[in-house]
Structure 1
Amino acid sequence: MKLMAVTNDRFKVDHLTKIMIDTEPFVDYFIIRERTKTANEYIELITALTEAKVSKEKLIVNDRVDVAVVSNIQRVQLPGHGLSLSQVKGNFPQLLAGQSVHSAMEAERASYAGADWLLYGHVFKTNCKRGVEPRGLAELHEISKKVTVDLYAIGGIKPEHIEMLHDIGINGIAVMSTIFESNDPVSAAKEFYEAFQKIEGAEF
């Protein structure tokens, strides 16, 4: 399984850069989701990360396809309200595009439309979606049996959930607050990494 860490749009570029550099050894991908930052601030962040030897292969730009193209980032995450998969794939065939989905129907449509991965949520209760009922595991399990592209879960996921999510057959998880709102982001990221290692070790 793989770990995506989703930024939470609460830090200035320099502090966010430090958190990402420090947690990078335990993270497979970062989804840069900074809704209030300008294009130049995105580029400042990406430049600082690459200068610190964080691979661009680990960076996924949320929504801002323009920033991804200018920064030569290969991966983008498309929210439901943004550009469609067909628009992105048609105009920027060099990009790999993930789609955020919230139902089995959305997941099947996105898979058929050419999504390179799917991000489904929210699975468990989370402060990011306060007052909104979580979607749980049943539909996630259904989606995992129907789609062939990589499937990630997001929403309130903790290290203790990893085994049950692995058993469903998904490819990984995405987390935001558990890492970026932690007093110790490195330890938080390492806990997920160790949970993955424990499962992988048990498979041999």
Structure 2
Amino acid sequence: MWQRRGVIGVELVAVTNDRLEVDSLARVMIEVEPFVDYFIIRERTKTAAEYINLIGQLTEASVNKEKLIVNDRVDVAVATGINKVQLPGHGLTVQQVKINFSQFRAGRSVHSVKEALEANEAGADWLLYGHVFPTDCKRGLPARGLVELKKIVEDVPANIYAIGGIKPWHVAELCEIKIRGIAVMSSIFGSSDPASAAAEYYEACQSYHSVERD
């Protein structure tokens, strides 16, 4: 998730939405795993024991551990041997993680060009920018749109992922900006048929390619 080499398919990241019990969430993740490049496990209300239970179920089902990214909970990543973390703005800094957990790859959630530049300077391995389009998850908050996203891609050498209200038909427009990938939450985990939803995004992502930026 942190390398850009030549011409490669646009990556699909599935972000969990903290609305399913552990067993149900594990089943959904196992079903959609063939269609996604990464999962960000973002379960704010779950305990460390529940996280560990979830990751244990995924491991037993042979879900590739390299696809798993733990949001915020660095302690859970350490306990489960996950080597990727997604850091929210209110969490540990990139510097703190890099100094204390040198084995980790760390992404930062950003909401502006300034935050993106700072996170890149701090050594973030990738950046997650949003919310790009209107979404019920951010009801009442205006979408940030594409103008600033384009600026971030132009000014910041890190791999950039877009999140927020993204539908399969948005992929072509986003790919023109040369982002590294898209992240999707409710449209997959809130779907009555998560595997079919993930497959639709997968097909859209495979139709376009991200070209290495100088």
- Tell me which interval the TM-score lies in, with the shorter structure as reference length: over 0.9
What is the CA distance between 1:129 and its match in structure 2?
Answer: 0.2
What is the CA distance between 1:196 and its match in structure 2?
Answer: 1.5
What is the CA distance between 1:146 and its match in structure 2?
Answer: 1.0
Structure 2 match to 1:27: 36
Structure 2 match to 1:179: 188
Out of 29, 45, 60, which is 1:36 matched to? 45
Does the alignment pair 1:48 with 2:57?
Answer: yes
Distance across 2 between alignment mates of 1:100 and 1:47: 26
Out of 79, 83, 88, which is 2:92 matched to? 83
What is the CA distance between 1:65 and its match in structure 2?
Answer: 0.2
Structure 2 match to 1:161: 170
Distance across 1 between alignment mates of 2:78 and 2:133: 33
Structure 2 match to 1:119: 128
Superposition map of 1:87-106 within 5 A? 87-106=96-115
Normalised to the residue count of structure 2, the TM-score between the two structures is: 0.93
Equivalent residue pairs, number: 200
Over aligned residue pairs, what C-alpha RMSD do you find? 0.6
Distance across 2 between alignment mates of 1:43 and 1:96: 19
Distance across 2 between alignment mates of 1:96 and 1:170: 19
Normalised to the residue count of structure 1, the TM-score between the two structures is: 0.97
Q: Which has the higher helix share?
A: 1
**Residue identity in the other structure for 1:155:** G
What secondary structure, in the 3-state scheme, does the structure 2 residue paired with 1:11 have? Answer: coil
What secondary structure, in the 3-state scheme, does the structure 1 residue paired with 2:207 have? Answer: helix
For structure 1, list consecutive stretches of 5 or more residues without a partner in the other structure.
none
Structure 2 match to 1:189: 198
For structure 2, list consecutive stretches of 5 or more residues without a partner in the other structure.
1-9, 210-214
What is the CA distance between 1:147 and its match in structure 2?
Answer: 1.2
Describe the superposition over 1:54-76 as per-residue Cα deviations: whole angstroms up to 9, x where unpaired: 01100000000000011000000
What secondary structure, in the 3-state scheme, does the structure 2 residue paired with 1:5 have? Answer: strand
Which consecutive segments of 4 or more residues in structure 1 shift more than 4 A?
Answer: none
Structure 1 match to 2:82: 73
Higher normalized contact order (CA 8 Å, seq sep 6+, divided by chain length): 2
What is the CA distance between 1:199 and its match in structure 2?
Answer: 2.1
Does the alignment pair 1:145 with 2:154?
Answer: yes
What is the CA distance between 1:105 and its match in structure 2?
Answer: 0.4
